[in-house]
């Protein structure tokens, strides 16, 4: 009789433990940027690309230093009748607010924050992370009249705390899956080859507003993508805002 009681107790504990584990897995799987795909990672991940059947991509430019080529980029984007994204650092916005407003008013650019002082965000405490995002977002809103919804961490550097704070502030953290390496002063042709070779449906392409050959490479990139049949979207249009999971490689997937 004693053996039966022990056996029932063991079975009950086993069932309860499995229910708790299953609940935790389900909660993780369906919750924003914390969601993981097939439990291949337990780390929070930003959005590197989007899984979609639509042949679309997003070109994005990071702005931290310099602005000489910014309006030339706008001219090219306008000439090809496409959309693009612009992630600006707070101190850049303070210095070049007029250019940021011109980009936004053109209707060709969606604006996101790239932090306030361009630090390694993963090395900051929670309060400083929040301050970086609040200050930069406020500066951007003051110029364009709209609070940004997208955030890109400087150097692509993040950890769970950075992603959690951003999410709490209503920001989607955006990485990239195609790096043009224009910041390395590659030739225009090499930049274009890198992009065209690495792109796929739902790709997010990283470029910079002050790359040495970015302006020269941009028409090659755009024409090459158009020849491959790609259309261009704002990142905010391309990503899923809810009911999504993120795979181990950062691909955002509709749940």
Q: Which residue numbers are catalytic?
A: 62, 208
* Assigned token pair, 172: 């989607």
> Within 10 A of 230 (CB to CB), how many other CB atoms are there?
20
The DSSP secondary-structure symbol of 182 reads: G
Residue 110, beta-bridge partner list: 85
* Assigned token pair, 160: 């769970």
Q: Are strands 178-179 and 172-173 parallel, antiparallel or unpaired?
A: unpaired
Nearest to 205 by CA among 215, 194, 213, 216: 194
Residue 145, phi-psi category: left (phi > 0), alpha (psi -120 to 50), beta (remainder): left
Give yes or no for a contact between 61 and 85, defined as CB atoms under 8 angstroms apart: yes
Residue with token string 């392409």: 205
For residue 63, which phi and psi values (nearest 5 degrees)? -130, 115
């Amino acid at each position: 009789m004693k053996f039966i009681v022990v056996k029932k107790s063991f079975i009950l504990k086993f069932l309860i433990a499995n229910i708790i584990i299953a609940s935790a897995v389900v909660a993780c799987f369906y919750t924003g940027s914390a969601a993981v795909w097939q439990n291949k990672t337990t780390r929070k991940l930003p959005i590197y690309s989007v899984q979609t059947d639509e042949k679309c991509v997003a070109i994005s430019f990071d702005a931290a230093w310099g602005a000489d080529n910014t309006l030339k980029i706008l001219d090219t984007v306008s000439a090809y009748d496409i959309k693009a994204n612009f992630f600006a650092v707070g101190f850049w916005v303070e210095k070049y607010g007029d250019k940021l407003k011109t980009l936004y008013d053109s209707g060709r650019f969606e604006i996101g924050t790239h932090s306030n002082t361009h630090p390694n965000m993963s090395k900051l405490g929670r309060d400083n992370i929040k301050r970086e995002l609040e200050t930069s977002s406020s500066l951007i809103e003051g110029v364009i009249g709209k609070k940004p919804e997208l955030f890109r961490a400087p150097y692509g550097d993040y950890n769970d705390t950075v992603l959690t704070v951003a999410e709490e502030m209503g920001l989607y953290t955006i990485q990239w899956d195609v790096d043009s390496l224009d910041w390395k002063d590659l030739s225009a042709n090499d930049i274009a080859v890198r992009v065209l070779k690495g792109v796929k449906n739902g790709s997010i392409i990283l470029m910079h507003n002050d790359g040495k050959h970015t302006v020269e490479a941009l028409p090659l990139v755009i024409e090459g993508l158009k020849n491959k049949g790609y259309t261009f979207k704002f990142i905010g249009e391309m990503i899923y805002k809810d009911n999504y999971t993120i795979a181990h490689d950062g691909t955002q997937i509709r749940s």
